[in-house]
Amino acid sequence: VIAKSWFPIAIAADMQQAAPQIEAYLVVVGRRYLVMAVYGALVEKGGFWRDVAVKSFAKAKANYHSITRDSVAKLLADSAKN
């Protein structure tokens, strides 16, 4: 639960050295309420961070609950339009 709060701060501060830990978290944790804030921060920051989101989701989506998978897919699709 701490990671859900800390990772968006690290993303906003552009701490790219945290990317491997963020990706590992998103691949292991599949609860929607624990991953959406992190994905949201990744998408909002854009660039390198959006790429981390896409890469992490590609690895994790098979293990996500369908609601989580659909929510993240929509977030990524909507961000691709902008």
Give average pLDDT by consecutive 10-residue segment, the chain, 82 residues.
92 97 95 96 97 97 96 95 74
- What pLDDT score was predicted for residue 1? 74
Distance, CA of 21 to CA of 24 (rounded, Å)? 5
User: What pTM, to 2 d.p., does this model score?
Assistant: 0.94
* Res 31: pLDDT: 93
